[in-house]
Amino acid sequence: MELKELKLTEKRKEICQRLSLFNSDDILSYYPFRYEMYDATPYREFREGCQVCFVGELVSYPSTFRKGKLSTSRFKVLYEEEILTVTIFNRPWIRNLKMNETLTVLGRYDGNNKVTASNYYSGDTTGSIIPYYPLKEGISQNDIKKLIQAVYVKCQDELSDDLPQEFLKAHRLTDRRTAIRDIHMPVNKMQLATAISRLKYEEFLRFYLSLDILKGSTAGGTKEKKIFDMDKVERFISSLGFELTEDQRTAADDILKDLSGNKMMYRLVQGEVGSGKTAVAMIGLYANCLAGYQGALMAPTEILARQHASSLSRQLGPFGVRIGVLYSAMEDEKKVKEAVRNGEIDIIVGTHALFSKDVEYKKLGLVIADEQHRFGVRQRQALKEKGKDVDFLLMSATPIPRTLASSIYGDMDVSTIASLPAGRKGCKTYLIRQNSIVSILDSVKEKLSEGRQIYIVAAAIEASENYKAKDVNNLYESLKEELKPFSVGLLHGKLSSQEKEVIMNDFEQNKINVLVSTTVVEVGVNVKNATMMIVYDADKFGLSQLHQLRGRVQRSDYEGTCYLLTDNKDELALKRLNILCQSNDGFAISFEDLKLRGPGDILGTRQSGLPAFVLGNLIEDTRFIDAARKDAKKISEHKDEEAYVSYYERIRKMASQNFIS
């Protein structure tokens, strides 16, 4: 049901809007992130400093004292013939409690019948399972619970289950309506575990069935073999100015074998930040050109597209390969499109503009998507359909272990570049537990005095009440003064293409010493003289993203330095960031990110048309993964049979609707 049909109150509509919940499915899939269940602690077992839980009767009205925005409330509770004085912070609404009301109190026993409460509930909730939901400022747990309960009551009769019955029986899974009820309103642990099992299995089943559907639209089939002179390819490899690592050579051989075969290539090259994936891509593009085909290299940003074009021109230009670059609103856009159509450009590098309807290729043979998770499957398909025998290569600097890659990418061929080129010194990373450069200012100025350059990264473009983070504009203004006489530049996604180009050129030529930027510098930007990076609000980024960012300062034989700034006191957030201080291994880091955050953000599933995992965990849930992959394959192979057609069609529509435009 859409929000209009649900007839929610204005307050509940506002909650849905703030949490990006657009229909009943979104609301009912807004699962708790944890649960609490408590048994009462007998008074005789109270020990000073220990956590306790008790159910008592309110025997004094709460009194509340304010100091600024903070409030302290106190009240007395009768428990096992003892009067306990309870203190609780920032719960001013507690004054609405009624005398003799029964309360369940959780907290720390401070001795002398005094308790500092962490929470309280009306009535006796011991033995109950209490769900906790992700919140935003101004939205309470009670708001979320009441919203979900109201929507469940209204929609429960429409929660039909089209998941094939044979799988429900084979895996002893409960029906969908019961699972939705019990994940939000469980009566006992058994109900909760049963609900989670059902919903986890279905997440994986949707994922793998969507993967099959989408892969069918972007890969498969036979093609004419691409014939090229291998001696010329080897001469090009010799001209690169460095020796390929063993991993690079293996990946290049995989690509050349795919190009010269009669099965369409659908390969992922994943590699550590700075491992040399672009060099491998060049080899494939050159072989494709020698075979008489055009190549297209998609990059996620204009900055990276121009940089790739420049690098390709430098390396492949001497071999007679004609390179072009294309992105929206560029001055000679029409001229470039005409050259592509006439075959006057052999390799075109660009952004999403490459698959615009008015871009025609004379003979497209190879498509490469850099940072593949940033492109939707429909976008890849649109570009792939512009040629007849098109091979497809994806590149990602978010590497994951091969066993997980096979789980996530199914039957896609995977080449892994794990080793870094010789001479790379890597990067030392330090966690600064304050969101300011005050403590490292001397190091910053010393680095600049040596003639080196620095990236400073912010999590936001503009200041916002709803997103508490340093914004790039204010940072730029303050650092411009703080770092005088050094030159400070500003870069973010809202600048025009021309402005971005001028700033990046100035930074590359060291006319700008410090570049204050958003994450537009995350991928591919290659300024070897930049050897320090400072990231504000580092806790707001994923580990893999931070690892990508610091890759910008390990592009040379000079050791890089990365400072992660945060004033977040949360132990889990600090533990995550410390992983980066202890390791430069992108595989290990992305594995930790996968365990801590799930694969949705890491793999870009929301942008690729694939459903993200909310409950499922690729590390822990191998039982569900194995079953779901097998069942998804069966549904795909028998999609027209009565038992499967309804579920298949629903997932097919869902995958199609989730493509980014």
Q: Is the peptide bond before 134 cis (omega within 30 degrees of 0)?
A: no
The reported pLDDT for the residue numbered 565 is 95
Each residue of 6-19: pLDDT tens digit? 888 888 988 988 88
- How many CA atoms does the CB half-sphere of 11 hold within 13 Å? 8
> Nearest to residue 131, comparing CAs of 70, 91, 181, 173?
181
pLDDT of residue 83: 96
pLDDT band at 661 (very low <50, low <70, confident <90, very high): very low
Residue with tokens 């990076």: 533
Among the residue ranges 393-402, 437-446, 556-565, the one predicted with the least confidence is 393-402
Which structure tokens are listed for 622? 């191998």
What's the rounded mean pLDDT across residues 466-493?
88
* Domains along the sequence of the chain with CATH: 39-126 (2.40.50.140), 230-417 (3.40.50.300), 427-583 (3.40.50.300)
Per-residue model confidence as pLDDT tens digits over 535-556 = 999 998 888 788 888 888 877 6
Length, in residues, of the chain: 661
CA distance 177 to 161: 8
The listed range with the strongest mean pLDDT (30-34, 63-67, 117-121, 258-262) is: 258-262
Do 279 and 248 touch, CB atoms closer than 8 A? Answer: yes
Q: Among 422-426, 454-458, 618-622, name the most confident range.
A: 454-458
Residues 6+ apart with CB under 8 A from 578: 431
Mean pLDDT on 438-447: 93
Mind giving me the DSSP string for 136-202?
-TT--HHHHHHHHHHHHHHHGGG----S-HHHHHHTTPPPHHHHHHHHHS-SSHHHHHHHHHHHHHH
Note whether 541 and 549 are within 8 A (CB): yes
| Half-sphere exposure for 427 (CA within 13 Å, toward CB) | 32
Token reading at 236: 């090009």
Determine if residue 361 is left, alpha or beta; phi over 0 gives left, psi from -120 to 50 gives alpha, anything else beta: beta
Predicted confidence band at 137 (pLDDT cuts at 50, 70, 90)?
Answer: confident
Structure tokens at 624: 């569900």
pLDDT at site 405? 61
pLDDT at site 604: 45
Residue 335, pLDDT score: 93
- Please indicate whether residue 468 or residue 365 has the higher confidence score (pLDDT): 365
Residue 228: phi and psi, rounded to 5, are: -140, 160
| pLDDT over 80 at 353, yes or no | yes
**pLDDT score, position 659:** 41
Amino acid at 575: K
With cut-offs at 50, 70 and 90, classify the pLDDT of residue 425. low
- Tell me what pLDDT residue 302 has: 82
| Cα–Cα distances in angstroms (integers) from residue 472 to residues 445, 506, 520, 522, in the given order | 20, 19, 12, 15
Query: Cβ atoms within 10 A of the Cβ of 45, count?
Result: 10
Lowest mean pLDDT of 84-88, 251-255, 371-375, name the range. Answer: 371-375
The confidence score (pLDDT) of residue 600 equals 47
Residues above pLDDT 90, as percent of the chain:
47
585 or 295, which is more confident: 295
Alpha-carbon distances, residue 596 vs 257, 586, 590 (angstroms): 37, 15, 10
Which among 271, 282, 295 is positioned nearest to 237, based on CA atoms? 282
CB atoms within 10 A of CB 347: 26
Q: What is the pLDDT of residue 242?
A: 85
| 85 strand-pairing partners | 76, 114
Q: What angle do CA 446, 449, 452 make, to 5 degrees?
A: 95
Determine the average pLDDT of the residues in 447-459: 93
Query: Using 50, 70 and 90 to split pLDDT, how confident is the model at 20?
Result: confident
Residue with tokens 């398909």: 381
Confidence of residue 609 (pLDDT cuts 50, 70, 90): very low
For range 257-277, the mean pLDDT: 85
Please compute the mean of the pLDDT values over residues 222-241 and round it to a whole number: 93
DSSP designation for 352: G
Question: What's the CA gap between 427 and 420, in Å, rounded?
Answer: 13
Q: Which residue, among 361, 354, 357, 358, has the nearest Cα to 380 in the 3D structure?
A: 354
Q: Helices H, strands E: what count in the chain?
A: 24, 21
Query: Using 50, 70 and 90 to split pLDDT, how confident is the model at 47?
Result: very high
The H or E element that residue 67 is part of is strand 63-67
**Range with the poorest average pLDDT among 21-25, 289-293, 404-408, 582-586:** 404-408
In which band, very low, low, confident or very high, does the pLDDT at 159 lie, cut at 50, 70 and 90? confident
Average pLDDT over residues 314-322: 95
The packing angle between helices 10-18 and 141-155, to 10°, is 110
With 80 as the cut, is the pLDDT of residue 329 above it? no
pLDDT at 496 (0 to 100):
83
Stated pTM of the model: 0.63
Give the residue among 511, 518, 477 at the shortest CA–CA distance from 494.
518
**Percent of the chain's residues with pLDDT above 70:** 88
